[in-house]
Structure 1
Amino acid sequence: MRRLLRRVLIAVAVVVLWAAGTLVTQLNSAQSADPPPARPAPTATPDPTPDPGEPAAAAVPDLRLGVQLSAHHRPGPGYARKVLARLARSGARWVRVDVGWATLQPNRTGPFERWYAELIDDVLAAARDHDIQVILEFWLTPAWASPNGSSYAPPTDPGAYAGAIGRAAQRWGHLVDAWEIWNEPNFEGFFEGADPQTYVNLLCAAYPAVKEYDDAPVLFGGIMYNDAPWLTRAYEAGAAGCFDALAVHPYIGPSDAAPETASVGAVWRLTSTPMVHDVMTTWGDGGKQIWITELGWSTGTENDGNAWNRPVSVPQQADFLRRAVRLVRAEYPYVGPIIWYRDVDGPTEAYQDGFGLLHPDLRAKPALRSFEAAVRGE
């Protein structure tokens, strides 16, 4: 849910997402499981002073927090290096880097596009220099591999995608710590058709191609929301055995709602994370982690007033970040890395461009201070 997604999402969310919520509610009813209650929102009052006779509990650093990188989409690699250095100082131990197959391999034959491959070389090396682990998300179909020329269309031949990501693993395996197969394949706007079987064909072709060169985890591409019904269909299509961890993007709807907002069987809630884990358990994958590879709230000032495109205030963004991390760590022990979407605001004032922890000039927003506190385990 990022980039062009915010504008596309508004047009389809009301119909598609409420329909998905109905399916999830029916699933929950069939299992006779009550939705989890809302957690009380923390107040703004300071924590009580500990009893002098009781030693204060030491905070445990959270080394599984990271940030989505967007800086490498700006001209030249220098800006991305500066952003990575700033994120490293904040304590970020992970960064998610999206790589466009369409840009990397615009021609069917021949080497990767040199300028783009060298840009990714530089970004990944800079992350390693700063001791930041990398999730490389690989997506967007070249025109020659697309059935209709669209970069959001699944490739006609999953083997073409597998060949490309295999070459990427051969080149960058020593710099990449996890591979994410596509982005939000359950969303029509990013994976035309949003068909589970088509995605599973892609996933199962990519898995051995990566493993031939790199034993890093392969992630089932970050599904939009906690979409348990779609995940069930993917398992029915044969997804088991083709991934090492499941990536989700548990954004909350309405988009200014608090992280503890009760699930009530809706897929667009952070508190619906257990529904996804239940599906994994049913299919024998309960021991695999869920990775949150996108989560965030926007402070963008320009929006159309739609509830799915509604920003929060700057202080709310910082507060919600802190509360979201606390909720996940307290309630969902099967969740691994949490990746905040995203690093830097801009280039516009629109909702889509307001998710950053930093201003474009790299001044910290209050949310960055919350991120730093979360890394410290506070």
Structure 2
Amino acid sequence: MQYHGMWSDQTPATRAKVLDQLVANGSEWVRIDVSWAMIEPKHQQYDMRWGVPFVDTVLQEVEDRGLKAMVTFWLTPDWASYGKGERYAPRYPTAYGRAAGWAAKRWGNTVDAWEMWNEQNHPDFFTTADPVAYTKMLCSAYKEIKKVDTSPVVYGGLQYNDAAFVKKTYTAGAKGCFDILATHPYSAPSDFSPTRDGGAPWGVTRVRDVRAVMVAQGDAAKPIWFTELGWSTGQIPNPQPWQRAVSEATQADFLEQTVALTRSSYPYVKGIIWFRERDRTGGNPYEDGYGLMRADLTPKPALARLKAVASS
């Protein structure tokens, strides 16, 4: 489950309740976003007063419940982007690698996988969406993490199944710099079922396009994970095709169908992270409505369905 335990709207009490519900309903992993900018606000000066201890606390809460943690390590400090912003690549990719290695040394005992950035193929999350810049960061991080931790390094989750971006990163030297490749195979239109092919690059079925690139590059043995996937139940008036919500019952059905489809047709996909643990109250019902729990932490039908498919 995507778990926003680091976000400011979470309290110790809500974090505890969310994690307890996830454990009770069959979740085995949580995906947590950790900000490089937060833990290293100044060059080689880590925030030991608040930022680093906060990560310590959240990861310990996860470990105490027997859950495995995937950390998505992203967001560039101002000093490393030279004032361009958190979603720019650092001027020197080795700075990202060094910070990832520092994180792995500190949290390697509680983190079970390291995901390098989030949706780096889209300018909303990686401003230039530059495959060469990303590859340099990925390879630097892989080298530094492996010096101190044996946990898998994950090629950051791509927005949709962007096979063209994957191919460009291979050309730039990505082979040998990751253990798992991740995609975010949301459906488009957003109310399509997981079995319905929306055309490249959208939807679960198009993972085959990314797989084909990996096979062609000699990486057939490496698994793919879906590190974000879900359907929103937040209805809005006159939605665009990418804003179509589903009912709570359909959300649960689509979760079950996704697992069944992945198991039967895509055995190389070894993990699914559902987006996300709870609804938010940000003011956009569609964007807020992806949770398997409502904002008040009462479960939607999909949470119980998660337990059923996990136990099967």
Shorter-chain TM band: over 0.9
Equivalences for 1:357-372 in 2 at 5 Å?
A: 357-372=292-307
Paired residue for 1:277? 211
Q: CA deviation at 1:104?
A: 1.5
* Structure 1: distance between partners of 2:19 and 2:254: 23
Aligned pair 1:103/2:38, yes or no?
yes
Equivalences for 1:87-126 in 2 at 5 Å?
A: 87-126=22-61
* Structure 1: distance between partners of 2:106 and 2:124: 30
Aligned AA for 1:242? C
Q: In the superposition, relative to structure 1, how do residues 303 and 286 fare at CA in structure 2: closer, same or farther (>3 Å)?
A: farther
Q: CA deviation at 1:75?
A: 4.4
Q: CA deviation at 1:303?
A: 6.1
Aligned pair 1:326/2:263, yes or no?
no
2:106 is aligned, of 159, 171, 195, to 171
* Structure 1: distance between partners of 2:48 and 2:235: 37
Aligned AA for 1:279? V
Paired residue for 2:176? 241
* Structure 1: distance between partners of 2:34 and 2:181: 19
* Structure 2: distance between partners of 1:278 and 1:263: 18
Aligned AA for 1:240? K
Paired residue for 1:315? 249
Between 367-376 and 237-246, the greater mean CA deviation after superposition: 367-376
Confirm or deny: 8 A CA contact 1:299 1:355 kept in the other structure.
yes
1:78 is aligned, of 13, 33, 37, to 13
Q: CA deviation at 1:109?
A: 3.3
TM-score (structure 2 length as normaliser): 0.96
1:296 is aligned, of 212, 230, 233, to 230
Tell me, which stretches of 5 or more residues in structure 2 are unaligned? none
1:135 is aligned, of 62, 67, 70, to 70
* Structure 2: distance between partners of 1:143 and 1:123: 24
* Structure 1: distance between partners of 2:204 and 2:31: 20
Equivalences for 1:199-210 in 2 at 5 Å?
A: 199-210=134-145
Q: Deviations over 1:139-175 (max 9, x none)?
A: 0111111144311111111111111111111110000
* Structure 2: distance between partners of 1:291 and 1:179: 13
Confirm or deny: 8 A CA contact 1:77 1:123 kept in the other structure.
no
Aligned AA for 1:190? F
* Structure 2: distance between partners of 1:254 and 1:112: 42
Confirm or deny: 8 A CA contact 2:189 2:198 kept in the other structure.
no
* Structure 1: distance between partners of 2:32 and 2:193: 27
Aligned AA for 2:240? N
Q: Deviations over 1:263-302 (max 9, x none)?
A: 54x1012101111111101001000000110000001133
* Structure 1: distance between partners of 2:236 and 2:39: 33
Q: CA deviation at 1:347?
A: 1.7
* Structure 1: distance between partners of 2:6 and 2:126: 23
Paired residue for 1:346? 280
Q: CA deviation at 1:102?
A: 1.2
* Structure 2: distance between partners of 1:259 and 1:241: 31
Which structure has the larger Rg over C-alpha atoms?
Answer: 1
* Structure 2: distance between partners of 1:240 and 1:326: 30
* Structure 2: distance between partners of 1:202 and 1:109: 17
Alignment length (residue pairs): 310
Tell me, which stretches of 5 or more residues in structure 1 are unaligned? 1-66
Aligned AA for 2:223? Q
Between 214-223 and 308-317, the greater mean CA deviation after superposition: 308-317
Q: Deviations over 1:184-227 (max 9, x none)?
A: 11011111111111100000110011111110000001011111
Q: CA deviation at 1:77?
A: 3.2
* Structure 1: distance between partners of 2:229 and 2:153: 20
* Structure 2: distance between partners of 1:212 and 1:309: 43
Write out the 4+ residue segments of structure 1 that deviate beyond 6 Å after TM superposition: none
Equivalences for 1:170-249 in 2 at 5 Å?
A: 170-249=105-184
Q: Deviations over 1:238-273 (max 9, x none)?
A: 100000010110111011111111254x10121011
Between 107-116 and 287-296, the greater mean CA deviation after superposition: 107-116
Paired residue for 1:374? 309
SS of the residue 1:311 aligns to: coil
Confirm or deny: 8 A CA contact 1:303 1:310 kept in the other structure.
no
1:156 is aligned, of 86, 91, 94, to 91
Aligned AA for 1:330? S
Q: In the superposition, relative to structure 1, how do residues 69 and 278 fare at CA in structure 2: closer, same or farther (>3 Å)?
A: same
Confirm or deny: 8 A CA contact 1:260 1:270 kept in the other structure.
yes
Between 161-170 and 286-295, the greater mean CA deviation after superposition: 161-170
| Cα RMSD (Å) | 1.4
Aligned pair 1:145/2:83, yes or no?
no
TM-score (structure 1 length as normaliser): 0.79
